[in-house]
């Protein structure tokens, strides 16, 4: 039996992003390129930091180091060289590593290194962005202050085949706010598997050509409104004309058009009166999710079209969000796409539970690693850091701010017209930097790009309030509520509406909407602060004291003075909130 020993080593796992695609395009050239990179970049860097490669694979390698500092220093040097070389190349030709590092007591047998610690390094590598480095919490703690790099907390991971949750961090060069490079991944569509819908030609009774034109106009209006929804692909009207006057099976339509949802309907006209019925179906099972009916008169046809379009969106958007989340929950971890990972992450993130929130960042990091070109994953990663600051959970506000900026920039670099990313970046400028002018300009762009993006209207409401325009803040928050009447995370919009009413001087309405938000999610600290201030102003001190205790349970480190120094509220509004938080018994 071969003797072995145990030692504490830092294990570095590296893998080429998109290697299968590169091999498929040019097998011999890719193999030669891998050998060249190993010889010219990898081997000298590892030897220079006292490490050694103990395992080779076609698309990567494993190396060990005597210390975590040496491993991280080596990883950063290699990545800097490769990212610089790749910057001048198109995405399909870029050769970038993902790197994971773990510090563990491992088994050494001959030239090999074995054990759970090696497996964890390999798992961490799968969470890294192309050109990025992800390390375990033990490595992050060991290198803090020892390497010229920033450490970004990514939350808690649940890696495949690892029974315990693992704290993970990204290691990046100091002051690096630039998004990492995109590579063309194997099998990646660039859309992350977005949900899609087709609106079929409406059936209509009778042979009057005017009825046909009427139905087409209504469909056009619905498609126009649906096309403005964030994260939904809408099939063009021309692509569905072949179904006019035909009987169809929605499951077959789903296969024909490659869509997950179908909206169909009928139009009946009796003189000047018209009736329109709609039916939303899920194509995988053929199940009908919702039906609706609209009655009106021909003279009001344009208003009726708008009403149908708006109500269709109100019904469709929540159903699709609910179904897509359930579908993502059902899928095994090995088959999750960037879109599925993002859906799961948003669900966990917006529960605002500490453990779930930490896991959400890990899922978003996996989504980015799965498809680096997927803008929504980057945008929600930025939102995660923004929420972390807002909840009072950040241990380093400057670092979270920088990471939020980096992720938002990456989202907009990949899709400059992405409404949610524009809205998040605008809110960051307002909430974190108090640059209200720049924020308002970005939020206007977000509303133009995505007029049906509820969160853009909520963030625009917040900035209007910070600027002292309470009336506009109320109108914008009400628009967000109309767009998301059944949103399971509607507490965000209710909070903004409550804050808008508070700034506008309507304390009863402020308390009403903030209480609604608190019922949906009692952990949202931004809402609790506004609600406490409103209840104190209304003389409801017992309720204010209860809410103050809840706030401290959610954010134990809350203190009035530090919060007042960073909140974008200002002037008499801020002075009033501070006085009322103090009256509720919150600590200075």
Distance between CA atoms of residues 190 and 410, nearest Å: 14
Domain edges within the chain: 5-173, 196-328, 452-588
- Helices 470-483 and 454-466 cross at an angle (nearest 10°) of 170
Q: What is the dihedral of CA 363, 368, 369, 374, to 10 degrees?
A: 130
What are the structure tokens assigned to 218, written together? 């209504």
- Strand-pair partners of 65: 10
What would the CATH number be for the domain defined by 452-588?
1.25.40.10
- DSSP string of 374-402? -HHHHHHHHHHHHHHHHTT--S-HHHHHH
Distance between CA atoms of residues 60 and 20, nearest Å: 12
Distance between CA atoms of residues 22 and 17, nearest Å: 9
Which residues lie below 8 Å from residue 556, measured CB to CB, with a gap of 6+?
none
Q: 410-424 b/e with 16+ CB inside 10 Å = b?
A: bbbbbbeebbbbbbb
Which residues lie below 8 Å from residue 510, measured CB to CB, with a gap of 6+?
498, 499, 501, 502, 530, 531, 534
Distance between CA atoms of residues 442 and 427, nearest Å: 9
Contact 279, 249 (CB under 8 A): no
Local structure of residue 129 (DSSP, 8 states): P
Name the nearest CA neighbour of 455 among 357, 510, 386, 507: 386
Contact 349, 489 (CB under 8 A): no
Name the 3-class secondary structure at 575: helix
Contact 344, 321 (CB under 8 A): no
Contact 443, 426 (CB under 8 A): yes
Name the nearest CA neighbour of 321 among 483, 451, 524, 519: 483
Q: How far is CA 522 from the centre of its chain?
A: 22
CA angle 309/277/197 to nearest 5° reads: 55
- Helices 525-537 and 571-583 cross at an angle (nearest 10°) of 80
Name the 3-class secondary structure at 542: helix
- Burial of 74 per CB tally in 10 Å (0-12, 13-18, 19+): buried
Strands 133-136 and 52-57: unpaired
What would the CATH number be for the domain defined by 196-328?
3.40.50.10070
Distance between CA atoms of residues 282 and 438, nearest Å: 41
Which residues lie below 8 Å from residue 135, measured CB to CB, with a gap of 6+?
68, 72, 100, 101, 102, 124, 143, 168, 169, 170, 171
Distance between CA atoms of residues 381 and 63, nearest Å: 30
The phi-psi region of residue 434 (left if phi > 0; otherwise alpha if psi is between -120 and 50; otherwise beta) is: left
Number of H helices, E strands in the chain: 23, 14
E runs forming strands in 187-318:
196-199, 203-204, 233-234, 261-270, 273-282, 288-297
Name the 3-class secondary structure at 553: helix
Distance between CA atoms of residues 246 and 519, nearest Å: 47
Distance between CA atoms of residues 455 and 459, nearest Å: 6
For tokens 């990949």, the residue is: 414
Distance between CA atoms of residues 319 and 487, nearest Å: 9
Q: What is the pTM of this model?
A: 0.74
Which residues lie below 8 Å from residue 246, measured CB to CB, with a gap of 6+?
none
What are the structure tokens assigned to 557, written together? 């480190």
What are the structure tokens assigned to 430, written together? 């307002």
pLDDT the model gives residue 321:
63
**pLDDT tens series, the chain, 588 aa:** 456 789 999 999 999 888 877 888 888 888 888 899 999 999 999 999 999 999 988 789 999 999 999 999 999 999 999 988 888 777 777 888 999 999 999 999 888 899 888 999 988 988 888 888 999 999 999 999 899 888 888 877 766 666 677 888 889 887 665 666 666 654 333 344 567 788 888 887 665 655 666 677 677 777 766 766 666 677 767 678 778 777 888 888 888 888 888 888 888 877 788 888 888 888 888 888 778 888 888 777 667 767 776 666 666 666 666 656 665 555 555 556 787 788 888 888 999 998 889 889 988 988 888 888 888 899 999 999 999 999 999 988 888 888 899 999 999 998 888 888 999 999 999 999 999 999 999 999 999 888 778 899 999 999 999 999 999 999 999 988 877 766 778 899 999 999 999 999 999 999 999 999 999 999 999 999 999 999 999 999 999 999 999 999 999 999 999 999 999 999 999 999 999 999 999 999
pLDDT the model gives residue 1:
45
Pick the CATH number of 5-173 from 3.40.50.2020, 2.120.10.30, 3.20.20.60, 3.30.70.1230: 3.30.70.1230
Q: State the number of CA atoms in the 13 A half-sphere of 184 facing the CB.
A: 11
pLDDT the model gives residue 526:
95
What are the structure tokens assigned to 25, written together? 């395009």
Stated as kind and residue range, the H or E segment containing 190 is none
- Burial of 190 per CB tally in 10 Å (0-12, 13-18, 19+): middle
- Strand-pair partners of 277: 266, 293
What are the structure tokens assigned to 463, written together? 């900035």
């Amino acid at each position: 039996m071969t003797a072995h020993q145990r030692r504490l080593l830092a294990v570095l796992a590296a893998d080429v992003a998109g290697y299968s695609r590169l091999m498929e395009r040019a097998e011999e050239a890719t193999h030669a390129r891998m050998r060249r990179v190993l010889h010219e970049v990898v081997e000298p860097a590892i030897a220079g930091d006292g490490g050694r490669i103990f395992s080779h694979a076609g698309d990567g390698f494993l190396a060990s180091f005597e210390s975590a500092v040496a491993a991280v220093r080596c990883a950063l040097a290699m990545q800097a060289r490769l990212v610089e070389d790749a910057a001048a190349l198109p995405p399909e030709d870029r050769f970038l590593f993902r790197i994971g590092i773990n510090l563990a007591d491992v088994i050494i047998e001959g030239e090999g290194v074995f054990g759970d610690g090696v497996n964890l390094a390999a798992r961490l590598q799968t969470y890294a962005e192309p050109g990025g480095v992800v390390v375990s919490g033990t490595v992050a703690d060991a290198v803090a202050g020892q390497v010229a790099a920033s450490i970004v907390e990514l939350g808690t991971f649940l890696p495949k085949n690892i029974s315990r949750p693992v704290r993970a961090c990204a290691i990046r060069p100091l002051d690096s706010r630039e998004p990492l490079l995109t590579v063309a991944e194997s099998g990646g569509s660039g859309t992350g598997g977005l949900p899609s819908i087709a609106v079929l030609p409406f059936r209509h009774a009778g042979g009057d050509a005017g009825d046909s034109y009427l139905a087409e106009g209504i469909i056009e209006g619905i498609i126009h409104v649906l096309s403005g929804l964030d994260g939904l692909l809408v099939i063009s009207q021309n692509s569905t004309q072949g179904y006019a006057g035909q009987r169809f099976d929605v499951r077959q339509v789903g296969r024909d058009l490659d869509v997950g949802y179908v909206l169909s309907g009928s139009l009946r006209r009796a003189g000047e009166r018209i009736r329109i019925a709609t039916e939303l179906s899920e194509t995988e099972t053929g199940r009908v999710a919702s039906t609706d009916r609209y009655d009106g008169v021909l003279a009001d046809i344009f208003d009726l079209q708008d009403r149908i379009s708006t109500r269709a969106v109100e019904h469709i958007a929540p159903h699709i969000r609910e179904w897509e989340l359930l579908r993502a929950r059902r899928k095994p971890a090995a088959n999750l796409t960037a879109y599925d990972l993002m859906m799961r992450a948003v669900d966990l993130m917006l529960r605002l539970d500490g453990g779930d929130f930490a896991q959400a960042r890990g899922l978003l990091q996996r989504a980015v690693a799965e498809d680096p070109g997927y803008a929504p994953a980057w945008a929600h990663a930025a939102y995660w850091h923004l929420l972390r600051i807002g909840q009072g959970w950040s241990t380093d506000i400057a670092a979270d701010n920088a990471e939020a900026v980096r992720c938002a920039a990456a989202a907009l670099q990949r899709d400059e017209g992405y409404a949610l990313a524009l809205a998040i970046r605008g809110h960051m400028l307002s909430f974190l930097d108090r640059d209200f002018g720049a924020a308002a300009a970005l939020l206007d762009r977000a509303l133009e790009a995505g007029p049906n993006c509820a969160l853009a209207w909520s963030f625009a409401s917040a900035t209007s309030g910070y600027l002292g325009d309470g009336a506009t803040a109320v109108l914008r928050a009400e628009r967000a509520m109309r767009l998301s009447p059944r949103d399971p995370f509607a507490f965000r919009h209710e909070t903004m509406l409550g804050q808008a009413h508070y700034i506008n001087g309507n304390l009863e309405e402020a308390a009403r909407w903030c209480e609604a938000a608190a019922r949906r999610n009692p952990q949202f600290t931004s809402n609790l602060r506004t609600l406490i201030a409103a209840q104190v102003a209304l003389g409801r001190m017992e309720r204010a004291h209860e809410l103050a205790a809840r706030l401290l349970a959610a954010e134990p480190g809350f203190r009035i003075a530090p919060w007042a120094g960073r909140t974008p509220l200002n002037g008499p509004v801020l002075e009033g909130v501070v006085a009322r938080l103090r009256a509720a018994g919150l600590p200075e």
